Amino acid sequence: MPLPGIDLKLIDPEGNEVANHEVGEILFRGPNMMKGYYKKPDETANTIRDGWLYTGDMAYRDEEGYHFIVDRKKDIIIRGGFNIYPREIEELLYQHTAIVECSVIGRPDPFFGEKTVAYVVSKDTDLTEEDIRDYCKVKLAEYKVPDYVSFIEEIPKSGTGKILKTALKNLDKNALPK
């Protein structure tokens, strides 16, 4: 729920407010909103428009007015016209008993636009790509099942522990099948 004195809305890519249970970008305005980025007028103009702060967070609202964040806008994978939220796949993968860490990203594909790649750190050396895909097929729509699974020893992170998806995108893009 938004705090008292904070206006919050969810919008689609065209700027229209979305209905309950539809995913949209979170915008807010209120007295606690930042004035802008220090000495970065272009970034400020992109983030604050018409008095609203565009957060880059994607969420949906239920009928009681509660908001649920589903992912970051820049992380959404568009595969064959379908929106895929990496966080949904990651949350499922974290339920697998052999998976220690994971991260899901999109990679360019000439036919689908993007395909999904799941980077997995596993404590089971016998775990295969097909095992992961079969596990996902039980709980996900077919288009959300990772197209590729890459087993790595460690997920790259920043000094504060945030997963560096940009590092993953560069990790082995040439090693994955095209």
First to last CA, the chain: 43
Q: What is the pLDDT of residue 20?
A: 96
Q: What is the pTM of this model?
A: 0.77
Domain 76-171 adopts which CATH fold?
GMP Synthetase; Chain A, domain 3 (3.30.300)
Q: Which DSSP helix (H) or strand (E) runs through 53?
A: strand 52-61
pLDDT of the chain along its 178 residues, tens only?
Answer: 988 999 999 999 899 999 999 999 999 999 999 999 999 999 999 999 999 999 999 999 999 999 999 888 888 999 999 999 999 999 999 999 999 999 999 999 899 999 999 999 999 889 999 999 999 999 999 999 999 999 999 999 888 888 888 888 887 565 555 5
**Of the candidates 25, 73, 92, the residue with the CA atom closest to the CA atom of residue 53:** 25
pLDDT of residue 167: 86
Domain with CATH 3.30.300.30 in the chain: 76-171
Exposed/middle/buried for 73, CB within 10 Å: 0-12, 13-18, 19+?
middle
* pLDDT value, residue 93: 97
Greatest Cα-to-Cα distance within the chain, rounded to the nearest angstrom = 54
Per CATH, domain 7-74 is 2.30.38.10: yes
Lateral strand order in the sheet of 99-109: 99-109, 113-122, 148-151
